[in-house]
Every structure is written in structure tokens, then in C-alpha cells.
Amino acid sequence: MPSEAYIYDAVRTPRGRGKENGALHGTKPISLVTGLIDALRQRAPELDPQRIDDLVLGIVTPVGEQGGDLARAAGLLAGLPDTTGGVQLNRFCASGLEAVNQAASRIRSGWEHLILAGGVESMSRNPMGSDGGAWFLDPETALATDFVPQGISADLIATLEGFGRDDVDGWALISQERAAKARAGGAFARSVVPVRDANGLDVLTTDEHPRPETTRAGLAKLRPSFAGIGEQAGFDAVALQKYHWLEAIEHVHHAGNSSGIVDGAALVAIGSASVGRDLGLTPRGRIVGAAVSGADPTLMLTGPTPATLKALDAAGLRKSDIDLWEINEAFAAVVLKYIRDLDLDPETVNVNGGAIALGHPLGATGAMLVGTVLDELERRDLHRAVVTLCIGGGMGVATVIERVQEFQ
């Protein structure tokens, strides 16, 4: 029998800097996941693992230690019963949210009742792009579909929208300031589960990437990251051949106004009302609408707008029904474009900062944002939020969630 999809809990690791000197570099991605499975069970002892149908994990670079369906191995290692399945999926940057949405859809179908959905990415150990790619490694495909790297797309969006360096740096600063304030105010405390080693010693207890000392003058000094490849590798030319009314691309993005490379994992426990009642779980939220949409592959990062409209439509809601917005800060221009497209109040968007300050562990981010915004709905005693991410290849995923305290 069909059911609503409830969120029973949401946890995440702190995000570690995605470099050799990052705190999580010595921790395997599977360990990040098993740590979160353990935490979920400790936080809700009544959550009977026998009832978990599946573990769905977004992993964007599923090679080596992140390959071969890490989800199944992690479930076994964490001591979940043999009957709990495990699957890895990849919708690039939105994989973590895609996992949540797929889990929610399966719950709503009535065929399954309890799924752990989330994602993991150990970017310091498994570099982005090391799994190759059907799009950009195949000349026939790249030529036919006007491939350019994301950074060029972000700069192209900024050029088309007229966002200058001041605008994008301005949002970067907001992200840092909000993240610093949120961390100091304990906004992430409910979801963040410290990563500990086998001896119980802390490996990382709080997000490692934010730079609260960031200043506008400091940002202004950073050199654009994509001017070089744009010019030398021909990507600007490809973009301009399609967006032919532009004469040049203004390269405004750099390391300080783009998402940070980090390690991390997240899990969301999603289930039906019946499993919740059986086990005595209290729902924290409900997934009321979800959608994916494609968008122009060369612009690549404009998918959140159509995905959001589609998700709102699925939920039967309007923009004015939404209290908080979480859009992944892949690049500052993505956020500014989304705010402009939907005519949003910037004070309601990424209220606790975003990936520019906190980092973007590719496969995990979408699930992290679900937890972050659910916590904030609770803190502010608000009702609904939209979570969305732009996606490589030109897509967007969006999810509308609603805070609940009891079954509807």
C-alpha cells in the first residue's frame, strides 16, 4: 500500500579538506559510511536493522576503493543483516540527493519500507575525474554536444547574466560569514557525527574547510581558475560558438568563490509510516516532491531552476510555500542565477553558508543538504524547504521537504 516517505533521521560526517593534509585523508570512504550507520543505530536503538531494505549511496568517482558497489560492502562491514541490499548510483554532483529521492520514490511505491540513502566521497583519496567519462573522453560525443568543463560553464553563466567579479566574490563572502556563524551557533550540531578511529579517538569533529578569515580584498586577489584552459584548450571558443552573440567569456570564478574539494559522507533514514509505527520511530520530515530536469549541457549548471519548478509542481506547492532554500554552491554564479530566476530573497537561501565555505564532497552533498536544512527548519520552527543541486552534463535535481513531528 502506498505511503508517504518520512525522514526519520539524517546524519553526516564533518567535511575534511580534500587534500593529503586533510584530516580525513587517512580514513577510508567505507569507514566514513560504516561510522554513520553505527551512529544512526546508536541514535535510534529502536531502528531494527532487519527492517532495512536497502542502502543507496551516491558516489561520483566509483573506482578503486570507491568502486564495485561500496554500498553493499559497507552494509556488510557495518553489520547490517545479509538481507539488506546495497546499491551505488551516480548522478554526478546531485548523487546524494538522487539517492534520497530514489529511496523516497520506492517508499512511496509501497514496495519497500525502510531505506538508508546518502552518499560518500573521499576526494582526497579518489580524485575527481579519475573514473574517466563517456562525455568528455570521447571526441565524437564531446564534439556533437559542445562539451566544456564546468568552470567554463560557470563563467559563461556569469557572462550571460552580467555577474561581475564583485557579484560572485560577494556571494562567496556571504557563504563564509554564514558558515562561520552557523558553526559557532551550533547549527550543524544535530547532524554532524564526529569521525573517530578504531580506538575511539577523534579524527575530525567539525568541518575543516571554512575560512572565516576570508575578506573581500583577499578574494579579489585570487586569479581566475579557468581563463587558462578556456583560452589554451579551446573551451572558450566552443562556448562562444554556441553562445555566438557573446564576444568573450569573462572568467570570474576562482578557488575562493567555487565549491571546495572535501571528504565526507551522509545518510538519511527514509521510511514508510507503517515501519515507523511498528518500530516506534518519530518522523522529522516528509519528502513531498522531487524532480530531475535536464538543461543546456554547455551552460551545464542551470538545471536547478527547471528541476525546482518541476518538484514544486509535483508537490502541488508554490514558491511562496517555501521557507528556506538550499542550492549547492558549485560556483557562486549558480546561486546568483537561481536567486534571479526564481526571484528569491537571498536571506532565505543557504542561510548557513554553502559549499563555497563548507566544501562539496560530490556523492554526499545532496544528502548533507537535506539534513542541514531539516535542522534549520526545526531551529527556526519553519515548515518547508527546497534542496537542489546543479549537475554535470546539464541537469538539476530538486527535492521539497516538509518538517513534521508526527505521521500525517
* Interface with another protein, residue 138, by CB under 8 A: yes
Place of cell 547490517: 80
Q: Closest distance between another protein and the C-beta of residue 139, in Å?
A: 4
Q: Which of 93, 113, 251, 253 is catalytic?
A: 93
* Interface with another protein, residue 143, by CB under 8 A: yes
Among residues 381, 366, 388, 398, the alpha carbon closest in space to that of 323 is found at 381
Q: Closest distance between another protein and the C-beta of residue 131, in Å?
A: 10
* Interface with another protein, residue 200, by CB under 8 A: no
* Interface with another protein, residue 235, by CB under 8 A: yes
Binding mask 93-132 for another protein (x = CB under 8 A): ------------------------------------xx-x
Q: Which of 44, 77, 229, 255 binds another protein (CB under 8 A)?
A: 229
Query: Is 25 a catalytic site residue?
Result: no
* Interface with another protein, residue 186, by CB under 8 A: no
* Interface with another protein, residue 148, by CB under 8 A: yes
Query: Is 360 a catalytic site residue?
Result: yes
Q: Closest distance between another protein and the C-beta of residue 167, in Å?
A: 20
Within 10 Å of residue 46's Cβ, how many Cβ atoms? 11
* Interface with another protein, residue 233, by CB under 8 A: yes
Q: Which of 42, 46, 137, 228 binds another protein (CB under 8 A)?
A: 137
- Bridge partners (DSSP) of residue 7 are 270, 285
Q: Closest distance between another protein and the C-beta of residue 297, in Å?
A: 14
The pairing of strands 54-58 and 85-89 is parallel
* Interface with another protein, residue 161, by CB under 8 A: no
Q: What is the Cα Rg of the chain in Å? A: 20
Query: Is 390 a catalytic site residue?
Result: yes
Q: How many residues does the chain have?
A: 408
Residues from 244 through 283 that contact another protein (CB under 8 A): 244-248
Q: How many residues interact with another protein (rule CB under 8 A)?
A: 27
**Farthest-apart Cα atoms in the chain, separation:** 63
Alpha-carbon distance of 49 to 53, in angstroms, equals 9
Could you give the 3-state DSSP secondary structure of residue 82?
Answer: coil
C-beta of residue 274 within 8 angstroms of C-beta of residue 334: no
CA 307 to chain CA centroid, Å, is 15
Residues 6+ apart with CB under 8 A from 259: 328, 329, 330, 331, 354, 355, 356, 359, 360
Among residues 287, 262, 240, 244, the alpha carbon closest in space to that of 364 is found at 262
Question: Exposed, middle or buried, 199 (CB in 10 Å: 0-12/13-18/19+)?
Answer: exposed
Q: Closest distance between another protein and the C-beta of residue 225, in Å?
A: 16
Catalytic positions, please? 93, 360, 390
> Where does this chain bind another protein (CB under 8 A)?
129-130, 132, 136-140, 142-143, 147-149, 229, 232-235, 237-238, 240-241, 244-248
